[in-house]
Structures are given as structure tokens and as C-alpha cells.
Amino acid sequence: INALTEKLPAAKEDFERCMEINPSFVPAKVQLAFCIYKTAMMQQSALLLQGAKRMFNDIISSHPKHADAYSLFAQLNQEMQDFEPASKNFDTAISLEPNNPVHYVYKALLVCQWKRDIQQAMDLLKKAVTLDPKCDFAFETLATLQVQSGDFKEAIENFDKALQNVRSESEMAHTFSIRQAALAQEYVTKVIGLIPPRLF
């Protein structure tokens, strides 16, 4: 919870405590490495950043079958605009967990940022929602891209599917707000004739 709410010092303590209790618990190591990375970004610390990268490399070296290690390392790579390593790490995560929709969503976001390839991103997202028809993250991301492509009807349908599967009030509020923004954009585009700038 602390990590999700960006309470990074408390999150770091939680993960370190977890590792003290069970040193072999790999998910705690992975989350600690990502927490250190986030702290490095907030503090603009090159030293912490190198430490986070080293932790990820150590985890992957000792646990080469742990998909989340590759996926979170890929997110670090992507945020640092190291796109080739990010793509490779996402691909490894997908190969290790081919039925996990989240890896496909993050790979789709990378493809959008790196190559501006909306079609490939859409294909990845459609694969994600096929694998898990209750993955609100996948439906929301797919709908956002469909808005950018001018496919408002399908976008609204997918926002509605995301809303049916959100797990908290804050997620519902967020998804509903971007759904309403999509409706407003549709009005501006179709009725007024203005074309809003594209994100990708």
C-alpha cells in the first residue's frame, strides 16, 4: 500500500522487513529494487539509480525465471528511455508468463512511446483483454489508444468494461473521468470539427 501511494521511505522499510523475515522471497527483492529506483528519481540520485539497476541485474542473475523482475526492470529502462533493453526485458517477461495480461499492456505502452506503432500496441492490448476479460488496466489502455485513433464508439465500450472491473473507488473515479473526457473529445471532433493533438 505504501508503494502504491508513493510513500517510498515507508515502502522501503516494509520490503526490507519482509526480506528480513524471508530472505528467499523474491517479490520483495524486486519491489525493493523498484522502490529504490523511484526514490532515486525523486531525489535525482545517480548513486541510488545505479544501485537499483545493480539490484535488478543481481535478481535476474540469481532468479532468471522470475517474470516480474524483468517487467519492472523494463519499466525502469523505459522511463530512462533505454528502449532496446526495455523491449527485451518485456519480451522475456511475456515468454515466462505468456498468460499474464499486464506484461502485454506495458509492452504496448513501450511500443507507443518508442516506435509510435499504434497498430502493434492495439494488437498487444487486444491479446491482453483476450487473456483476461477482467483486466481493467488493459481495457482502459486500449480505450485510450482508440480515442487517439478516433474510434470513439469502441473506446467508450472499453472504458465501460474497465469500469465494470475496477477494484477501488479511486480507480473508478480515474477511469470515469477519462471516459468523460473521451466523450467531450468526441463532441469536439465530430460536432465542432476540431482535431485535438494526438499523444502518440
Note the pLDDT tens digit of each residue in 23-46.
788 999 999 999 999 999 999 999
With respect to residue 42, please indicate whether it lies within any of the assigned structural domains. Answer: no
**Helix axes 67-79 and 83-96, enclosed angle (nearest 10):** 160
- Which helix (H) or strand (E) segment holds residue 80: the answer is none
DSSP 144-179: HHHHHTT-HHHHHHHHHHHHHH--SHHHHHHHHHHH
Q: Give me the residue label for grid cell 492490448.
A: 125
Q: Give me the residue label for grid cell 516480474.
A: 68
Instruction: Say if CB 69 and CB 99 are below 8 A apart.
Output: no
With respect to residue 46, please indicate whether it lies within any of the assigned structural domains. Answer: no
With respect to residue 160, please indicate whether it lies within any of the assigned structural domains. Answer: yes
Tell me the average pLDDT across 167-188: 92
- Which helix (H) or strand (E) segment holds residue 91: the answer is helix 83-96
Return the half-sphere exposure (C-beta side, CA atoms, 13 A cut-off) of residue 157. 5
Q: Which of 99, 52, 100 is nearest to 75 (CA)?
A: 52
At residue 2, the pLDDT reads 43
Q: Which domain holds residue 159?
A: 116-199
Indicate the DSSP class of residue 197: P
At residue 64, the pLDDT reads 97
Distance between CA atoms of residues 93 and 110, nearest Å = 14
**More confidently predicted of 164 and 19:** 164
Residues 6+ apart with CB under 8 A from 13: none
At residue 13, the pLDDT reads 78
Is the predicted pLDDT of residue 1 greater than 70, yes or no? no
Q: What does the pLDDT look like over 54-113, one tens digit per residue? A: 999 999 999 999 999 999 999 999 999 999 999 999 999 999 999 999 999 999 999 999
Is the predicted pLDDT of residue 192 greater than 50, yes or no? yes
With respect to residue 164, please indicate whether it lies within any of the assigned structural domains. Answer: yes
With respect to residue 124, please indicate whether it lies within any of the assigned structural domains. Answer: yes
With respect to residue 32, please indicate whether it lies within any of the assigned structural domains. Answer: no
Using pLDDT thresholds of 50, 70 and 90, give the confidence band for residue 199: low
Output the nine-digit C-alpha cell for 36: 529504490
Instruction: Say if CB 32 and CB 16 are below 8 A apart.
Output: yes
What total of structural domains would you count in the chain? 1
- Residue 118 burial (10 A CB sphere; 0-12, 13-18, 19+): middle
With respect to residue 186, please indicate whether it lies within any of the assigned structural domains. Answer: yes
With respect to residue 169, please indicate whether it lies within any of the assigned structural domains. Answer: yes
